[in-house]
């Protein structure tokens, strides 16, 4: 039997069962998830860490650092929306698909779009915030300017003025980090080591932009939307990108950034490093 015949037979069978093919990585096509089925998905894949009551107190929680989310609180760390707002469905889908690098949260890319959609629907029943507040609006992301030496230089200055208190020279060794930091749940937390070339959530300069702009809910990482202009945030993003082997960073800019004095070692940041 030829391949075409096999494919044709499958498609006919699928249509007979009322199905519609779906690209594996699609976002769900706007179809609402089924919270009941989502609970089944949750109990198979998530309960071990996030707990039977979705309170983040599953069996594996005590070996997990950072701790699993308590979905009853409606506080999600990684979101494309402004600090304090609930994430979009796409934000939750991204975390489920990609996981959170370096944490206990693995990537669930093998789950079908329907499974992911259903479990998100279930999670959205677990906090009253989803009914009262609803998801936030994703922050606007202007086109990325080309990373240049000037942008990296400027980004270093902005980083020193706004980020080095926690992130230090980029490795997460700032004064606040040395003293010790905790998140909103009282758990010890350390600033990201940005020289690793990969964050828990961020992979690209665009991701760094979103994180810098929106902050990380429930942690001391603030949003900078009120402090820096979009151009300035891009400069910070390009400087961070040049600190490590982030996707999209060039060896030339990494070498250039390495030759700059580390944040905290140079002159005090000029007054115009914050948005007027």
Partner 1 sequence: MVAGAALVAAALTGPTVAKADTGSGPVGHAYVLPTAGRWTAERQRVYAALRRYLEAHREIPAFARKYGMKCSACHLAVPVLNQFGQAFKDNGYRMKNGTDDLRANEPAYWPLFAWLWKDYEVDVQRVGGRTVQERGGVSDGAFVLGGLGSIGDKVSFRFTPIIYEDGNTVVDHGWIRYNQAFGSDWVNIKVGSAEFDLPIYPGREYNMGASRFAVLYAYSVPGSVSRFSVLFPQPGVEIMGHDLGSRNRYSVNLFNTGGAPRAHCVLCSPGIFGRVTHRQEFATGFLRAVRAGVFGAYATWPVGPDTSDRKGQERLGGDVELWLGSDVLPLRATVMGITGRDDRALVPGATQDPKFNAGMLQLEYVPKLPLVFYSRLQMIRNQRQAISGTPGDFGDQDFQLVGVRHALELNSRFAWLLELTYWRWTIKHVAPGGANVTNHTLWLGTHLDF
Given 43, 184, 231, 252, the residue binding partner 1 (CB under 8 A): 43
Given 33, 41, 95, 191, the residue binding partner 1 (CB under 8 A): 41
Q: Which residues contact 238 (CB under 8 A, 6 or more apart)?
A: 147, 148, 151, 152, 155, 205, 253
Token pair 């932009």 is at which residue? Answer: 209
Q: 249 and 151 in contact (C-beta within 8 Å)?
A: no
- DSSP state, residue 204: S
- Write each residue from 49 to 78 as x if it is in contact with partner 1 (CB under 8 A), else as -, in one continuous string: x---------xx--xx--------------
Nearer to partner 1 by Cβ, of 48 and 173: the residue is: 48
Q: List, in sequence order, every residue forming a beta bridge with 189; answer none if it has no partner.
A: 181
CB of 222 to partner 1, least distance (A): 25
Given 102, 128, 134, 142, the residue binding partner 1 (CB under 8 A): 102
Q: 202 and 98 in contact (C-beta within 8 Å)?
A: no
130 touches partner 1 by CB under 8 A? no
48 touches partner 1 by CB under 8 A? yes
Span between the terminal Cα atoms of the chain, in Å: 70
Of 40-48, 74-82, 155-163, 258-266, which part binds partner 1 (CB under 8 A)?
A: 40-48
Nearer to partner 1 by Cβ, of 112 and 137: the residue is: 112
Given 115, 157, 207, 223, the residue binding partner 1 (CB under 8 A): 115
Token pair 């996981």 is at which residue? Answer: 99
Token pair 């006919």 is at which residue? Answer: 12
176 touches partner 1 by CB under 8 A? no
Total residues interacting with partner 1, rule: CB under 8 A? 47
- DSSP state, residue 11: H
Phi, psi of 86 (to 5 degrees): -70, 150
Structure-block tokens of residue 262: 């580390």
Q: Site residues (CB under 8 A) for partner 1? A: 6, 10, 13-14, 17-22, 24-26, 28-29, 31, 37, 40-41, 43-45, 47-49, 59-60, 63-64, 99-115, 198
């Amino acid at each position: 039997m030829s391949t075409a015949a096999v494919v044709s037979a499958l498609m006919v069978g699928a249509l007979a069962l009322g199905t519609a093919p779906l690209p594996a990585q699609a976002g769900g096509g706007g179809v609402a998830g089924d919270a009941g089925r989502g609970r089944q998905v949750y109990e198979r894949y998530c309960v071990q860490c996030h707990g039977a009551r979705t309170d983040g107190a599953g069996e594996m929680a005590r070996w997990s650092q950072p701790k699993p989310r308590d979905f009853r609180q409606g506080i999600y760390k990684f979101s494309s929306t402004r600090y304090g707002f609930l994430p979009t469905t796409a934000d939750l889908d991204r975390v489920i698909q990609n996981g959170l690098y370096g944490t206990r949260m693995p990537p669930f890319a093998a789950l079908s779009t329907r499974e992911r959609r259903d479990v998100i629907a279930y999670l959205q029943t677990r906090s009253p915030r989803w009914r009262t507040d609803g998801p936030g609006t994703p922050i606007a992301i202007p086109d990325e300017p080309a990373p240049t030496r000037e942008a990296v230089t400027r980004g270093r200055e902005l980083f020193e003025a706004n980020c080095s208190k926690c992130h230090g020279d980029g490795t997460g060794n700032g004064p606040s980090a040395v003293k010790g930091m905790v998140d909103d749940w009282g758990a010890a937390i350390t600033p990201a080591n940005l020289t690793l070339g990969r964050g828990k959530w961020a992979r690209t300069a665009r991701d760094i932009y979103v994180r810098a702009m929106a902050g990380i809910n429930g942690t001391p990482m603030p949003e900078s939307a009120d402090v820096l202009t979009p151009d300035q945030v891009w400069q910070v993003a390009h400087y961070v990108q040049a600190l490590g082997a982030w996707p999209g960073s060039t060896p030339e800019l990494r070498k250039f950034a390495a030759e700059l004095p580390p944040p905290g070692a140079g002159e005090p940041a000029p007054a115009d490093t914050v948005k007027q």
